Amino acid sequence: MFKNLSIRELTYYVTIAVFGVTFLLSFFFLKILDVNAFQKENLYWFIAFQVISFLLIYGTIRFLLEGFIFRRIKLIYKVISESKLSSSSPKPGFDPKEYSLDEVNLDVLNWAQKTQDEIQDLKTLEEYRKKYVGDISHELKTPIFSIQGYIHTLLEGGLYDEKINEKYLLRAAKNIERLQTIVDDLELINKLEYGKAVLYKSKFDIKKLVQEVMQDLTVQASEKKISIHFKEGADQPRQVYADLESIRQVISNLLLNSIKYGNKEGETRIGFYDMGEKVLIEISDNGIGIEEEHLKHVFDRFYRVDASRSRKQGGSGLGLSIVKHIIEAHQENINVRSTQGVGSTFGFTLPKNK
């Protein structure tokens, strides 16, 4: 009965309780003074005294609870409402006197928890921003310092040395291309994140597209003697509905990744699986694999499981991040499974032909 009292009800009950005590005390004192309260000449004064006592008690309790405490509760609710951080914030015209203390407490606790969660999210984003700025600075430094070194060497006389002038110019040009790749990839990710990238969806055979990419990567695969082939049952045409060129980039990035980090004389396998209205495409290798602690970060920008080895392999460090953003732009999912020393499998879904 008393668990969920509203603030106004609490005022009434406290007033009655205090008045009951004063009523009994008045009888006690009258008895000590040997005065009969129910005698006709004393009854009117007794009733008047009790009425005045009740009004004074009620006024005092109301002032203390409603005028002092509840006014501050209403101020807290106003702050919560104006902050717009809680879906349970009171509507305009909210009167805390009509709410139970448990409801008030629950609302404030919910607001505090959501505020704390938002603060934690902001801290996480801030940490990510700092890390991202540090990563991009580091990625840009390497080619910039290399270009500076080659150009300064040429300006200091190397330009006239036939043994190094052309070699250094070629190296500088290669680093400039790397810078351009990083900038282009960042621009693409930015467009995908903000929905500015235009997807030209059409129906096409995903198996045929994979074969075309496999042919494009023949040289890279041959250098490491890596065999790229379809899994059993994946030799049939599979029609999907997506942006062909962006999916080509996804397939190319994933296959190239499997070649870069695959074992020499290893293999890369491509499989297709019917998922009802979707097709699951999986690319597996028997390469070095990825440790479990790194799996949740493989799609982060510039994230490298083995930084020294990754940079030797070339690339912008944004390939998997681009892959993730392209698939998400199609409103589909991508995942990775990996065991260190055994290999990795990247899988993503695409809708069937519409």
Q: pLDDT (tens digit, 9 = 90+) per residue, 292-316?
A: 878 878 888 777 665 444 445 555 5
Task: Give the rounded distance of the alpha carbon of 244 from its chain centre.
Answer: 29
As a whole number of angstroms, the distance between CA 247 and CA 200 comes to: 11
**Higher model confidence: residue 39 or residue 334?**
334
Q: What is the pLDDT of residue 203?
A: 93
Band of the pLDDT at 183, cuts 50, 70, 90? confident
* 11: CB partners within 8 A, 6+ apart: 58, 61, 62, 65, 66
Give the number of other CB atoms < 10 A from CB of residue 303.
18
pLDDT by residue (tens digit) across 205-262?
999 999 999 999 998 888 888 999 998 888 788 899 999 999 999 999 999 988 888 8
Q: Which residues of 103-140 are buried (b: 16+ CB within 10 A; e: fewer)?
A: ebeebbeebeebeeeeeeeeeeeeeeeeeeeebbeebe
pLDDT at 283 over 50: yes
**Higher model confidence: residue 164 or residue 47?**
164
Q: What percent of the chain has pLDDT over 70?
A: 72
Sequence-distant contacts of 147-153: CB under 8 A, at least 24 apart: 147/172, 147/175, 147/176, 147/179, 150/175
Task: Give the rounded distance of the alpha carbon of 118 from its chain centre.
Answer: 11
Q: What is the pLDDT of residue 95?
A: 52
pLDDT by residue (tens digit) across 93-114?
445 545 555 566 666 677 777 7
Q: What is the pLDDT of residue 85?
A: 45
Average pLDDT over residues 188-204: 82
Q: What is the pLDDT of residue 305?
A: 60
Q: What is the pLDDT of residue 348?
A: 93
Q: What is the pLDDT of residue 288?
A: 83
As a whole number of angstroms, the distance between CA 261 and CA 340 comes to: 12
Q: What percent of the chain has pLDDT over 90?
A: 17
As a whole number of angstroms, the distance between CA 275 and CA 175 comes to: 43
Band of the pLDDT at 291, cuts 50, 70, 90? confident
Q: What is the pLDDT of residue 22?
A: 80
Average pLDDT over residues 306-332: 72
Pairing of strands 227-230, 267-274: parallel
Q: What is the pLDDT of residue 90?
A: 46
As a whole number of angstroms, the distance between CA 256 and CA 346 comes to: 12
Q: What is the pLDDT of residue 295?
A: 82
pLDDT by residue (tens digit) across 117-168?
777 777 766 766 666 666 677 677 888 888 888 898 888 888 888 888 888 8
- Which parts of the chain are beta strand (E)? 201-205, 227-230, 239-243, 267-274, 278-285, 334-339, 343-351
For residue 351, the cross-strand partners are 278
Q: What is the pLDDT of residue 142?
A: 80
As a whole number of angstroms, the distance between CA 111 and CA 20 comes to: 39
**Higher model confidence: residue 91 or residue 184?**
184
**Higher model confidence: residue 87 or residue 302?**
302
Q: What is the pLDDT of residue 301?
A: 74
As a whole number of angstroms, the distance between CA 351 and CA 331 comes to: 10
When the pLDDT of each residue in the chain is averaged and rounded to a whole number, the result is 78
**Higher model confidence: residue 60 or residue 30?**
60
pLDDT by residue (tens digit) across 74-84?
666 666 655 54
Secondary structure class of 232 (helix, strand, coil): coil
Average pLDDT over residues 179-185: 81
